[in-house]
């Protein structure tokens, strides 16, 4: 039965935004008193919360699919839809969140830290919010956008001050049980420890945490045994304690050879950029099981060699508790010095968020197709606007066209070489496909004039009274002449009829 999980893939889906409402207020003697459709509610977010009370990702191993609530639909009488219920997921402190491509999104190293891993969709605006002096009674509303949906990888890296490393059955679990209140499983066979154990140690005024890591063997950095899988839990530790078994009965093993193997595996393990390599961190050596006479003699024999290599050596016994107090106080000093050095470091540079300025909200990518070029529009705004549009409503489609034109999409399509009737796609993948027909941006497109001239710039003068009188007399003379001509034709017609008679 699985009791500890430090790596899991979550399948998340944030809540969808609710649709806006199309409604018209009706009052007595006012059957059409104006739009009053409310906005849709926003979808719920999926939030990761670093909780010190959580020590494993086991619950997400059994239930990896998590979904937040959807937003409610808008209603008439300016009633907005309810916001979708958010989902808070508690994770252990020290959890690293990565996307599906393995890129690190956030490192949850502080208790209470919150990170919105899957933002919910936006609620659509109702027709009351879309009304303006030019569009007093919109017959459409915006749809809610879908929430984020995808996979994220959670990887737990234990946050501890000291890590106990060594061969299997070297006594690491017994040591952490002797110096703290932790009660790990202890047995006389290799790989008893299947997952890291944490214990809190009090050494004078210094309190620190100790992690018991599953045993390392030769080739652990290449995947042998359990060491490589759990070496990530050593990355955050300040100091390492090499627990060496002085009473081992295995042939070919002794404390010095065991230490060389462990150091080689630590040096082969890659740490993230910016961290101190495991091999270069403060290291102490604990010669364990000195309560056995033969082990005591072996410890006295190898101690000068270890000290000559620069290690601080402590002879201990987890059974009789011999040497445990000096070891814990030495670890407390190392941890205290590290904390003091970190406190003296300058504060991280303050993050200043500045406006994007003239940065474009979209791009046009030209792609070759079987029947000609395809012009793909990419950008947060155009894609969101498409999701918000009800394509069964012509007015809503027109509103989308106006928004895209104001954003400058048509000008960019012209610059990219698009012609009327070209295939345009908004968004990645299949997206929304349509045949582009450019709209008229201004009256200048309808004007025909010689090159270099603009009839709108010609000087216009007001007519004088004499000019208006002359124009009037000309029109009156033309009318009198027309009447005289009609009368002459009438008379001519009458005389022709008499002659026939």
Distance of CA 339 to the CA centre of its chain: 32
Tokens of 203: 């050494």
Length of the chain: 501
CA distances from 321 to 34, 285, 291, 311 (A): 84, 16, 9, 21
Q: Which residues are annotated as a binding site?
A: 166-173, 191-195, 212-215, 288-291, 317-319
Percent helix / strand / coil, the chain, rounded to 5: 30, 20, 50
Q: What is the C-alpha separation between 310 and 186, in angstroms, rounded?
A: 31
Strands 95-98 and 87-91: unpaired
Report the sign of the C-alpha dihedral through residues 200, 202, 206, 212, in that order: negative
Query: At 434, phi and psi to the nearest 5?
Result: -155, 160
| Among the listed residues 14, 8, 158, the one whose alpha carbon sits nearest the alpha carbon of residue 97 | 8
DSSP string, 351-374: P-----TT--S-EEEEEEETTEEE
Q: Which residues are annotated as a binding site for GTP?
A: 166-173, 191-195, 212-215, 288-291, 317-319
Q: What is the C-alpha separation between 49 and 108, in angstroms, rounded?
A: 8
Q: Which residues are annotated as a binding site for Mg(2+)?
A: 173, 193
Q: What is the C-alpha separation between 215 and 262, in angstroms, rounded?
A: 10
Q: H or E stretch including 9? A: strand 7-13
CA distances from 341 to 280, 331, 344, 490 (A): 16, 16, 5, 118
Exposure of 453 in the CB half-sphere (CA atoms within 13 A): 6
- E strand map for 68-205: 87-91, 95-98, 104-108, 114-118, 149-156, 162-165, 197-203
CA distances from 210 to 225, 301, 436 (A): 22, 28, 65
Helix axes 172-179, 324-344, angle to 10 degrees: 80
Q: What is the C-alpha separation between 429 and 376, in angstroms, rounded?
A: 10
| Among the listed residues 214, 212, 232, the one whose alpha carbon sits nearest the alpha carbon of residue 278 | 232
CA distances from 343 to 276, 336, 451 (A): 17, 11, 73
Q: What is the C-alpha separation between 58 and 69, in angstroms, rounded?
A: 23
């Amino acid at each position: 039965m699985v009791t500890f999980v430090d790596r899991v893939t979550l399948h998340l889906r944030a809540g969808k935004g609710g649709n806006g409402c199309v409604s018209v207020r009706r009052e007595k003697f006012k059957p059409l008193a104006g739009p009053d459709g409310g906005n849709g509610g926003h979808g719920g977010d999926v939030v990761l919360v670093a909780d010190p009370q959580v020590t494993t990702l086991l619950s997400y191993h059994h239930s990896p699919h998590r979904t937040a609530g959807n937003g409610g639909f808008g209603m008439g009488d300016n009633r907005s839809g309810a916001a979708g219920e958010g989902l808070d997921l508690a994770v252990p402190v020290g959890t690293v969140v990565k996307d599906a491509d393995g890129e690190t999104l956030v490192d949850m190293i502080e208790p209470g830290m919150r990170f919105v891993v899957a933002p919910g969709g936006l609620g659509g605006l109702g027709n009351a919010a879309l009304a303006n002096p030019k569009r007093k009674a919109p017959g459409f509303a915006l749809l809610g956008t879908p929430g984020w949906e995808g996979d994220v990888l959670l990887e737990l890296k234990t946050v501890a001050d000291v890590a106990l490393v060594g061969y299997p059955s070297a006594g690491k679990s017994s040591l952490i049980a002797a110096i703290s209140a932790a009660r790990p499983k202890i047995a006389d066979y290799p790989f008893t420890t299947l997952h890291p154990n944490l214990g809190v140690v009090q050494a004078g005024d210094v309190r620190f945490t100790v992690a018991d890591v599953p045993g390392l063997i030769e080739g652990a950095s290449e995947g042998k045994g359990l060491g490589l899988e759990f070496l990530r839990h050593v990355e955050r530790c300040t100091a390492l304690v090499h627990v060496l078994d002085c009473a081992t009965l295995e042939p070919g093993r002794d404390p010095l050879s065991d230490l060389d193997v462990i150091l080689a595996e630590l040096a082969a393990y890659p740490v993230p950029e910016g961290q101190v390599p495991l091999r270069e961190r403060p290291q102490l050596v604990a010669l364990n099981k000195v309560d056995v006479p033969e082990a005591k003699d072996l410890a006295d024999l190898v101690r000068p060699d270890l000290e000559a290599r620069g290690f601080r050596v402590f002879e201990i016994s987890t059974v009789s508790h011999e040497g445990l107090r000096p070891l814990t106080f030495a670890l407390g000093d190392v941890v205290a010095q590290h904390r003091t050095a970190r406190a003296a470091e300058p504060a991280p540079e303050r993050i200043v968020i500045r406006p994007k300025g003239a940065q474009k909200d979209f791009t046009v990518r030209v792609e070759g197709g079987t029947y000609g070029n395809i012009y793909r529009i990419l950008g947060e705004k155009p894609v969101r606007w498409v999701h918000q549009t009800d394509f069964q409503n012509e007015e809503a489609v027109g509103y989308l066209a106006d928004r895209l034109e104001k954003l400058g999409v048509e000008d960019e399509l012209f610059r990219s070489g698009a012609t009327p009737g070209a295939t345009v796609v908004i968004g990645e993948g299949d997206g929304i496909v349509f045949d582009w027909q450019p709209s008229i941006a201004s009256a200048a497109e309808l004007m025909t004039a010689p090159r270099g001239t603009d009839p709108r710039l010609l000087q216009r003068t007001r007519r004088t009274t004499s000019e208006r009188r002359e124009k009037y007399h000309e029109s009156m003379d033309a009318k009198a002449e027309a009447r005289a001509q009609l009368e002459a034709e009438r008379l001519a017609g009458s005389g022709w009829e008499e002659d026939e008679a």
